Copies of this chain bind each other. A is one copy, B any other.
């Protein structure tokens, strides 16, 4: 890996972090490398920059594509694939959340619903617990749906509200801006 120290350290950090999430070190490093690069990079360049095998690069890129985290580009007169990350960081966050939801939340909801379908079976506590968990997850995904309907600007606005959130709820409630869901 022969990169400027800044890139080097950034990439190593996200390699480590990657392994705490579901993705492996290499995939994290590839993403970090692309993230810092203004120009799209091809597989050969990535392979050299990270000192990994060409096939590892190929698998890593495939993984990133399955997460919708990289975009494929082409240069005129060059038939190699070039990869970039979106310029808009919020778009990256949205993609991450959406993909994790698809892979983790949705299957969990199906399982919980399936378990509830079986009806009472003797352990009322466990059944209540499962129902409660399902409700919580549904509530959070609905909230997320709402947030993802907002454009970036609005989201930033919401985020920067800082400590005014609680007060806002008060005001809204007094004004009956919304009713019971």
Binary contact track A53-96/B, C-beta < 8 Å → 1, others 0: 00000000000000000000000000000000000011001000
Q: Which of A87-133 contact B (CB under 8 A)?
A: 89-90, 93, 103-104, 107-108, 111, 115, 118, 121-123, 125-127, 129-130, 132-133
Q: Which residue of the partner chain, among B10, B130, B150, B168, contacts A130 with CB atoms under 8 Å?
A: B10
Q: Mark A134-166, 1 if CB is under 8 A from B, else 0.
A: 001001101100110110001011111111111
Is there contact, CB below 8 Å, between A127 and B177?
Answer: no
Q: How many chain A residues touch B (Cβ–Cβ < 8 Å)?
A: 66
> Which of B17, B104, B147 interacts with A20 by CB under 8 Å?
B104
How far apart sit A121 and B10, CA to CA, in the bound complex (Å)?
14
Copies held by the complex: 2
CB atoms of A168 and B161 under 8 A apart: no
Known: A22-B21, A36-B125. Contact between A166 and B181, CB under 8 A? no
Give the chain B neighbours of A139 by CB distance below 8 A. Answer: 156, 159-160
Please determine whether B162 and A13 come into contact, CB atoms closer than 8 angstroms: no
- Whole-angstrom distance between the alpha carbons of A9 and B107 in the complex? 13
A166 touches B150 (CB 8 A): yes
Which of A6, A89, A156 is most buried by chain B, counting CB atoms within 10 A of its CB? Answer: A6
In the complex, what distance in Å separates the CA atom of A80 from the CA atom of B39? 60
B166–A154 touching, CB < 8 Å: yes
Q: Which residues of B contact A125 (CB under 8 A)?
A: 36-38
A9 contacts B115, CB within 8 Å? yes
User: Contact residues of A with B, CB < 8 Å?
Assistant: 4-7, 9-10, 13, 17, 20-22, 35-38, 89-90, 93, 103-104, 107-108, 111, 115, 118, 121-123, 125-127, 129-130, 132-133, 136, 139-140, 142-143, 146-147, 149-150, 154, 156-169, 171-173, 175, 177-178, 181
